[in-house]
Structure 1
C-alpha cells in the first residue's frame, strides 16, 4: 500500500501524538475581539509557525491556467507529462489548485526547471508552496509562455539577440533548442515570463522591419486591449467605445 500525502509530507507513517495545550504553552495565544467570546482570535507564535511549515517547504502548487480538471485526470496527466524517476503524491486543495509532494528531490528540480509545462493545450502553473498560499484567494497574475517571432531572419538566431528582444515582452527565460540549433527556420521561439494582468506586446521593430509576436497556449487574448482572459466583444475598452 502506498504512502499517504500526509505520510510523505511528514516523513513517515502517522503516529498517535500527545495533544499539547498550545494556548497554555503560549504557542497559540487566544484573545477575544472586543472581549466578545463569540469572536475568538488566534495568533500563532513565529517559532510554532516555522515548525508547522517546515515539512511543507518542498511541496509545489500546480494549476492549469483557465481550466479545471478532476483529481484522477490530473494525477494521470502529470505522471505522463513529467516522467519522473520516483513517485509523487497529489492532493486537491480546491479552486483548481493541487499540491504535490515528490519522493525525490531530483524530480522536484526537474519539474521546476522544465517550465513551461502544458496540459490540454493550456499552461500548467507551477509554484513553490508558501505559508501565505490560500487557494480561495490565490490569483494567477503571471506565467511562463512560449512566444514566437515568425519570419525573423535566421541571422538573428543568436541567443543573446533573442533574449534581448524577449526582454521587451517580459522576463526572458530561455531560447528553444530547435531555435538555437537552427533546425527550424519558420519562427524563433523563446520562453518568457509575462504578466497576465497587463497588455502583451504584439510586435517589435528590428532594424526597420516590424515582426509579429505570437503567444502559444494563450487562447483568450483580446485584439482590442491586448490583455489576456477575455475576447474583444467582452472587452471593457470595446464596450466603452460603443456607448
Structure 2
C-alpha cells in the first residue's frame, strides 16, 4: 500500500505580494549573496569551435534558480520610466503587504524581488 502524500498549496505572486499567501512566510528561505560559496568543481570552462562554454554544477544552478524564485522582470512597453516613478506606481498598483526590492537593469528593464 502506498503511503499518503501531503499536497502543498503554492501561492501566486499576487498572493505573496498582497500578504495573502497560503504558505507561512517563515517557511520561505531567502538566500543571501554572502552565503553562496562556489567550489572548485562547480564551474567548468571549455572552448568549443573558438567559443567559450561555461557549465555550472547542479548545485550552483539550483542556487541561481532559488535566488530568483520570488523575482519579477518588469518592462514598461511604449515609453521609458524613471526608477522613482516606477517604484511609486508599483506600490500604488500592487499595495504590497511587505516592502520589495527594485533594481534597475539595462535596456529599461527592472527586477522586483519580494
> TM class by shorter-chain length?
0.5 to 0.7
**Residue of structure 2 in register with 1:33 after alignment:** 48
Deviation at 1:73, TM superposition (A): 1.3
Q: What is the CA–CA distance in structure 1 between the aligned matches of 2:59 and 2:37, rounded to whole Å?
A: 18
The structural deviation recorded for 1:20 is 3.7
Match of 1:57 in 2: 69
User: SS in structure 2 opposite 1:49?
Assistant: helix
| Deviation, structure 1 residue 89 | 1.0
1:36-185 correspondence to structure 2 within 5 Å:
39-102=51-114
Higher relative contact order (CA 8 A, sep 6+): 2
After the TM superposition, list the runs of 4 or more consecutive aligned residues in structure 1 that deviate by more than 6 angstroms. Answer: none
CA RMSD, Structure 1 to Structure 2 (Å): 2.7
Structure 1 residue runs without a partner (length 5+): 1-9, 103-243
Greater radius of gyration (CA): 1
Structure 1 stretch displaced more, 44-53 or 68-77: 44-53
Aligned-residue offset at 1:63: 1.5
The answer for unaligned runs of 5 or more in structure 2 is: 1-28
The TM-score normalised by the length of structure 1 is 0.31
Secondary structure of 2:46's partner?
strand
